[in-house]
Structure 1
Amino acid sequence: MSDNDVKTDSKYSVFAVFKTFLFLGLTSFGGPVAHLGYFRKELVEKQQWVSESQYAQLLSICQFIPGPASSQLGFALGLIRAGWSGALAAFVAFTFPSIILLILFAWLLPLLSGDIGVAIIHGLKLVAAVVVADAVWGMFKKLCPDLPRRIITLVVIIILLLLDSVWALWAVIILGGVLGGTFCRQSSTEPVSEIKVTYSQRFGFVLLTVFFVLLLGLIGISHNGGIVQVMQIFYQAGALVFGGGHVVLPLLQESVVTTGLVSNQDFLAGYGASQAIPGPMFAFSAYLGVLMSGGIEQNMILVAFVALTFMFLPGFLLVAAVLPLWQGISNNKTTLNVIAGVNAAVVGLLITVLYDPILITGLTSLFDVLAMVVGILMLNRWQLSPLLVIVWCLITSAMHLLI
C-alpha cells in the first residue's frame, strides 16, 4: 500500500474510532509490545488508517518520549484519524475495560484474606516476576547491543543499589541521556512519509509548555495529602517513565509504598493483576487510586479518576506536542544518541526493579524459582499466550500452598 492510498479523510466518525479501540481494549492481551502488533494488524493492514512508514514513525515517536508507548500510539492514531475527539475516543475505549477490571480487583482485595486469596495474590506476584524478567531480557538485547550502552546500564544499576530514593530514579534517567549524548553513536534514518496533523508547530510548543508547567508546578505545590498528592504522584510518574508500563513500577513503588499509602503486598498483587487483563498497564493507576482513597466509598471513583488522568496526561501532552515538530528533529543525530542513553538507563532501572521488590518479595522458595523459569520459557522460548502463563502461575501457587 502506498502513502497516497492511506485513508486520511477527516470526516471519519469518532464513533468508528471508539468502536475500533474498544475491540482492541477487550482483546489486546500480552502487554505493551503485544499491543503494537495488534494495532499494526488492525489499523495498518486491515483498516489502512496509516501507511507502514507512518506507523513506524509514530511508533518511534512513542518510544522516544516518556509515557505508555502503546496508549500514546493509540492516542496519536485516533488524533490523526478523527482529530482531538478521535484521540480522546481512542484512549477511553482502549483503557476502559482494564480500568473496570482493576477497580473490581481493588474492591475485592479485602476479601482475599483466606488461603485461596493468599494463593491468588502470590500467583499474581509470580506473574509480575515472569513478565518483568522477560521484558528485561528483551529490552537488554534490543536496547543495549554495544559496550557503551551496557556500561550505562551497569552504572545505573550500581547507583540505584546504593541510593534508595525517588530522586535517584530521575537522576539516572538524566544521566543516561547525558552519557548517551556523549558516548553513543546512532545513525539517523530519513522518514519515508510525512505525518500530518491539523494544528501548527506553535500549538505543539504550547502543549510542551503546558507539560513542563504542570510538572514543575505540581512539584512546587505543598500539600497535606488528598487529591493534590494524588496529582503529584501520578503526573510525575507518567512524566518520567521511559520504556512503558514496566518501568513505572519503581517510581510508583517509591511514591505509594514507601510513604505507606499502599502496602507492598497489595501493590505487587495489583501489578500482577494488570498483567492478566487486556489493555494498557498504566490502568494500574486506577487500582492504586482506589486503594489510596482510604476505603471511603464516595471518594474511590474520584481518586481513581484523578490518578488515571494524571498518569496518562503527561504522555499524551508530549506525543501531541511532538507530532508537528517531528519532521525537524527525527534526523538529528544528537537526539538519537541521547535517546539511546536513556533507553540503556531504563534497562538498568528495570534490572534493579526485578531484583527489588519483585524477586525479593515474589519468590519465597525454590518451587517459586522453578515456576518462574517455566513461565519465562512459556513466554520466550515456546511463544505461548500470556493467558497460559497467568494460569500456570496461579496453579503453581495453589499447589505450593497445598503442599
Structure 2
Amino acid sequence: MSSLLEVFFQFFALGCTSFGGPVAHLGYFHERFVQRERWLTADAYTDLVALCQLLPGPSSSQVGMGIGLIRAGWLGGLAAWVGFTLPSAVLMVLAAALLSAQPAWFADGWVHGLLVAAVAVVAQAVLSLQQKLAPDRERASLVALSAVLVLMVPLAWVQVLALFVGGLVGLVALASPQYESLQSDRLVIPLKRSVGLVLLGLLMVLLLALPWLSALDRPLVVQQLSGFLRTGALVFGGGHVVLPLLEQSLVPHGWIELEQFLVGYGAAQAVPGPMFSFAAFLGFDLQAGLHGIGGALMALTALFLPSFLLIGGILPFWSVLGRLRKMRHALVGINAAVVGILLAALFQPVWQSAIRGSAEFCLAIIAFLLLVCWRQPAWRVVLFCAVVGGLIFS
C-alpha cells in the first residue's frame, strides 16, 4: 500500500470512531501514530501539538494534517484531512437532508431537544475553556469584557475587535504560559521553505481579499464563500468557537434560519470527527446561493482551507515560530477573548432560542450535569435530549 493510501485509510478509520472532541482526538492520534504505527516520536508529536495550539484553526485537524504532511508530503496532508473529515461530513449532510425532508415521525419536539442539548454543550465548553484559558482574575476579567462587548455591540465585526483587544492586552499585560522549549532536531519536516512561503503568501492574499469578497454587491456565492473563509481564519480556542463566528456570518444575512443553525450544531455533537464538519450541514441547508451537496462541499473546503494553508506554510518554519515569545503573550489574551465570545453566544443565540420555560431549563440542567459531573460523552447526551424532547415538547 502506498504511503498516500495508508494515510487516508488510517485517518478514515479514526474519523469513523473518534468521538469526544479535539482533546480526545489528540489522544487517538498519539495512540495510533506514536505508539502503534511509530510514524513519529513522542517528542516530535508533542512539538507538533504545541505548534498547532499556537495557531488559529481546529487544532486536532491541523495536527492530523501535519502528520499526513510529514508522512506523505502535501498530498498526504490532504489525504489525512479528507479521511478524518469524510465520515462526519457525510453524517452531517444526511442529518441536514433528513431535517429538510421532515418525515412524519420526526416531530418538532426532537428538534427542540437538540436545541436544549446545545445549551448544555456550549455551557460545558465555556466552563472547560475558562478553567484552561482564563483561570486567573486578569484573564477572567478579559472574558467578561469580551462577552459584554459582543452582546452590547451586536455587529459582526465586533468579534474581530474583541480578539484584537484580547491580543493587545495579552501582549502588554499578561504573562505567557510556560511551554517546553521546542528543539529543531526533534521534529523533522521534509518540506521546502519555498513552498511554505508560497502557501503563506496565498493565505495573506486570501485574508486581504476578504473585505472585497464580503462586499454586498458581490455574487451571493462569493459572499457565502467569504463568510466560511473568514471564520476558518479567525477561530482560536477549539471547535466550539466556530459557533458564534459562523452564526454571525450566516444568520443575519438570512442564508440559514437560526433554529436550523442550532439544530445542526446540536447534531454535530453526536457524530465522530472534527467539529468543523458542522459546515457540511450549514452548506447543505443554505437557503440561497449554493446549497445541497455543492453547498456542503463549498462550506467544508472554505472553512478548512485557511488551516491547511497555515499549517503547510508554517511547518517548515516551526522551530523559528516556536520561539516567538511576543506571539505567545498575545495568544494568552486572544484565548481569553475567545472564551468571552463563546460566553456571549451561550446567551444569544443559544439560550434565547432554546429555553422557553421551566421544562427546557430542567432538561438543560440534567444534560449539563451528565456532561460535567457524570462525564458522559456529548453524543450520548445529545441523543438523550432529542428523545426526551420528542416525548415532552411535541
TM-score range, shorter chain: over 0.9
Structure 1 segment 15-54 matched on structure 2, within 5 A? 15-54=5-44
1:391 to 371, 383, 386: 383
Distance 2:245 2:371 in 1: 26
Q: 8 Å contact 1:62–1:72 — kept in the other structure?
A: yes
TM, length-normalised to structure 2: 0.93
Which residue pairs with 1:106 in the alignment? 96
Which residue pairs with 1:13 in the alignment? 3
Q: 8 Å contact 2:270–2:380 — kept in the other structure?
A: no
Which residue pairs with 2:296 in the alignment? 304
1:191 to 182, 197, 210: 182
Q: How has the CA–CA distance of structure 1 residues 41 and 373 changed in structure 2, closer, same or farther, with 3 Å as cutoff?
A: farther
Q: Shift of the alpha carbon at 1:385?
A: 2.8
Q: How has the CA–CA distance of structure 1 residues 281 and 96 changed in structure 2, closer, same or farther, with 3 Å as cutoff?
A: same
Which residue pairs with 2:69 in the alignment? 79
Q: 8 Å contact 1:123–1:394 — kept in the other structure?
A: yes
Distance 2:389 2:287 in 1: 30
Q: How has the CA–CA distance of structure 1 residues 29 and 188 changed in structure 2, closer, same or farther, with 3 Å as cutoff?
A: closer
Q: How has the CA–CA distance of structure 1 residues 19 and 113 changed in structure 2, closer, same or farther, with 3 Å as cutoff?
A: closer
Q: Secondary structure at the match of 2:158?
A: helix
Distance 2:298 2:375 in 1: 37
Q: 8 Å contact 1:293–1:303 — kept in the other structure?
A: no
Q: 8 Å contact 1:208–1:321 — kept in the other structure?
A: yes
Q: Secondary structure at the match of 1:29?
A: coil
Q: Secondary structure at the match of 1:394?
A: helix
Q: Shift of the alpha carbon at 1:228?
A: 1.1
Q: Secondary structure at the match of 1:30?
A: coil
The alignment status of 1:288 with 2:282, answered yes or no, reads: yes
Which residue pairs with 2:131 in the alignment? 141
Which amino acid is 1:237 matched to? T
Q: How has the CA–CA distance of structure 1 residues 53 and 376 changed in structure 2, closer, same or farther, with 3 Å as cutoff?
A: farther
Using the aligned pairs only, state the percent identity.
38
The alignment status of 1:340 with 2:328, answered yes or no, reads: no
Q: Secondary structure at the match of 2:393?
A: helix
Q: How has the CA–CA distance of structure 1 residues 180 and 295 changed in structure 2, closer, same or farther, with 3 Å as cutoff?
A: closer
Structure 1 segment 3-402 matched on structure 2, within 5 A? 13-112=3-102, 116-186=106-176, 187-192=178-183, 193-221=185-213, 222=215, 223-292=217-286, 294=288, 300-401=292-393
Q: Which moved more, 1:226-235 or 1:258-267?
A: 226-235
Q: Secondary structure at the match of 2:340?
A: helix
Distance 1:397 1:247 in 2: 26
Q: Shift of the alpha carbon at 1:266?
A: 0.6
Contiguous gaps of at least 5 residues in structure 2: none
Q: 8 Å contact 1:43–1:49 — kept in the other structure?
A: yes
Cα deviation code 1:10-49 (max 9, x no counterpart): x961111111111111001122222222212222222222
Q: 8 Å contact 1:378–1:389 — kept in the other structure?
A: yes
Distance 2:98 2:347 in 1: 28
Distance 2:206 2:276 in 1: 19
Cα deviation code 1:348-376 (max 9, x no counterpart): 11110111111111122222222222222
Which amino acid is 2:267 matched to? A
Distance 2:106 2:78 in 1: 39
Q: Which moved more, 1:263-272 or 1:317-326?
A: 317-326
Q: 8 Å contact 1:293–1:300 — kept in the other structure?
A: no
Q: 8 Å contact 2:203–2:306 — kept in the other structure?
A: yes
Q: Secondary structure at the match of 1:382?
A: coil
Distance 2:383 2:287 in 1: 30
Q: How has the CA–CA distance of structure 1 residues 268 and 92 changed in structure 2, closer, same or farther, with 3 Å as cutoff?
A: same
Contiguous gaps of at least 5 residues in structure 1: 1-10
Which amino acid is 1:265 matched to? E
Q: Shift of the alpha carbon at 1:191?
A: 2.0
Number of residue-to-residue matches in the alignment: 390
Q: Shift of the alpha carbon at 1:113?
A: 7.1
Which amino acid is 1:190 matched to? S
Q: 8 Å contact 1:153–1:344 — kept in the other structure?
A: yes
Which amino acid is 2:193 matched to? Q
Q: 8 Å contact 1:156–1:172 — kept in the other structure?
A: yes
Which amino acid is 1:110 matched to? S
Cα deviation code 1:212-259 (max 9, x no counterpart): 101211321344443212221110110111122211111111121111
Q: How has the CA–CA distance of structure 1 residues 309 and 293 changed in structure 2, closer, same or farther, with 3 Å as cutoff?
A: farther
Q: Shift of the alpha carbon at 1:77?
A: 0.8
Cα deviation code 1:249-296 (max 9, x no counterpart): 111111211111100011111111111111111111121111226498
Q: Secondary structure at the match of 1:60?
A: helix
Q: Shift of the alpha carbon at 1:114?
A: 5.5
Q: Secondary structure at the match of 2:60?
A: helix
RMSD: 2.0
